[in-house]
């Protein structure tokens, strides 16, 4: 008995269309570009967080200097005025 060959009358395409390929390539390219931008922003964010940490250390040093000179007081960062606790002069730390 001879084997019969089945012929597919509706062959499956081997490639997508050029327009479809270009569309997929553009979307993938846009995703890659967006991911690169996120990476750039994350690096910038990391550097800024590092700067904030250094500035917080510097602020603590300045606060310690002021506390040494004026004692434990509240100092307005708006105009530099000093508010002493209970409306009394604070003791200077020596």
Q: What is the pLDDT of residue 8?
A: 75
pLDDT tens, 40-51?
999 999 999 999
pTM as predicted: 0.63
Mean pLDDT for the stretch of residues 12-31: 97
Half-sphere exposure of 28 (CA within 13 A, CB side): 6
Q: Is the pLDDT of residue 53 over 80?
A: yes
C-alpha distance from residue 78 to each of 31, 64, 74, 82, 85 (Å): 46, 19, 12, 11, 19
Both tokens assigned to 7: 């012929």
Q: Is 74 helix (H, G, I), strand (E, B) or coil?
A: strand
Confidence at residue 9, expressed as pLDDT on a 0 to 100 scale:
82
Higher pLDDT, 92 or 3: 3
Nearest to 71 by CA among 53, 86, 56, 54: 86
Q: Bigger pLDDT: 9 or 89?
A: 9
Give the model's pLDDT for residue 71.
95
Percent of the chain clearing pLDDT 90 (strictly above) = 77
């Amino acid at each position: 008995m001879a084997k019969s060959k089945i012929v597919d009358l509706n062959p499956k395409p081997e490639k997508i269309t050029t327009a479809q390929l270009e569309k997929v390539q553009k979307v993938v390219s846009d995703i890659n570009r967006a991911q690169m931008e996120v990476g750039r922003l994350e690096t910038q964010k990391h550097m800024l967080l590092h700067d904030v940490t250094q500035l917080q250390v510097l602020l603590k040093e300045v606060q310690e200097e002021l506390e040494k000179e004026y004692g434990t007081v509240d100092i307005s960062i708006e105009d530099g005025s000093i508010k002493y606790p209970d409306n009394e002069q604070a003791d200077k730390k020596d």
